[in-house]
Amino acid sequence: MALKIYVMKFHQAHFGNGYLNSSIAHFTASRLFSALCLEAIKNNCLDEFIAEANQPDFVLSDAFPFIKRPYLPKPVSYPNFDFAFESLDDNIQKQKLADSLYAVPLDEYHNFLQGTADMEKLARSQANFSKTVEITKKGEDPYEVAVTYFKGSLYVIAKQSQIVDQLMTSLQYSGLGGKRSSGYGSFELRIENLPSDLADCLCQENDERYEYVLLTTSFPRKEELDQVLPYAKYEIHKESGFAYSETEQELLRKQDFYKFKAGSIFKRAYHGYIADVRPDGFGHPVYNFAKGLFYKIGG
């Protein structure tokens, strides 16, 4: 796979998690994929992009921090603290700090898994990465919106192609997230090679010596589900929302989609799929990206 890191330097953005007055400092692959589909429609290349995305080797990760180096999602059920050599209070405090993290620097990942990383340092780094504030706008179109300001960048891993580069370049001006008409969500894009220690551990295939950290909030195909559930340690993420119907001239609720969150741990990797979550009777597909990408650990 010709994978690249797409680094996005946002200045301010609204990545909602259900409410306009809340915002988080990251987003899932499905949010980015939906935005790329809209860019493809504007560029008259949607069919070409969907055909590319349906190729077996096309992958796309969730967005994670990039602060001089890539971060990866905090793995579910880790770290493993050694209770034999430290007091219970120390380990409880370390566990609280670890639980507060969303992502861990790539070069600290092994230490984090073993419970030997400096949890206080990692927590400070995450706290300094972004700041969210509520903004109130008065006047003819009043609203309250939570806006996240970034001191670092976000990145995704994707299979590079001409059309992906084209749409990501276009998207940096259109913006990503909510309240784009108010100037939120634009970003500066740069494309980089994967560090070798990251590239060597990315996979969609299986080796019984390893466990697999999910990098894309996603879900297996029906025939894969029974194979990946044994020994899995996972969290569930619900995706819902609305799609606009030109024929009905209204917003219709999309099908709810429950997926495994990035950071979930599996003994077997899976491929996943691109789901169609269109409302009943809707005139065209509404795509939700649910293909898996994994980082192998252990061995």
The total of other beta-carbon atoms located within 10 Å of residue 186's CB is: 19
Asked whether the whole model's pTM tops 0.85, one would answer yes
Amino acid type, 161: S
Q: Which of 26, 29, 25, 79 minimizes the C-alpha distance to 214?
A: 29
Q: Kindly state the average pLDDT of the residues 253-271.
A: 95
Least confident of 3-12, 151-160, 277-286: 277-286
- What is the sign, positive or negative, of the torsion defined by CA atoms of 262, 126, 58, 35? positive
Least confident of 10-24, 57-71, 158-172, 196-210: 10-24
pLDDT of residue 82: 62
Q: What is the C-alpha to C-alpha distance for residues 266 and 214, in angstroms, rounded to an integer?
A: 8
Q: What is the per-residue pLDDT across 115-166, written as a single tens digit (0 to 9) for each?
A: 889 999 999 988 888 888 887 666 666 667 788 889 889 999 999 999 999 9
The mean pLDDT of the chain is 89
Q: Which two tokens stand for residue 292?
A: 């898996």
pLDDT band at residue 90 under the 50/70/90 scheme:
confident
Q: What is the per-residue pLDDT across 160-187, written as a single tens digit (0 to 9) for each?
A: 999 999 999 999 999 998 878 777 889 9
Burial profile 225-253: b = 16 or more Cβ within 10 angstroms, e = fewer:
eeebeeebebeebebebebebeeeeeeee
Residue 43 exposed, middle or buried by CB count within 10 Å (0-12, 13-18, 19+): middle
Question: Residue 183 to residues 4, 42, 43, 175, 187: CA-CA distances in angstroms?
Answer: 28, 19, 21, 8, 11
Q: Prior bond to 79 cis, omega within 30?
A: yes
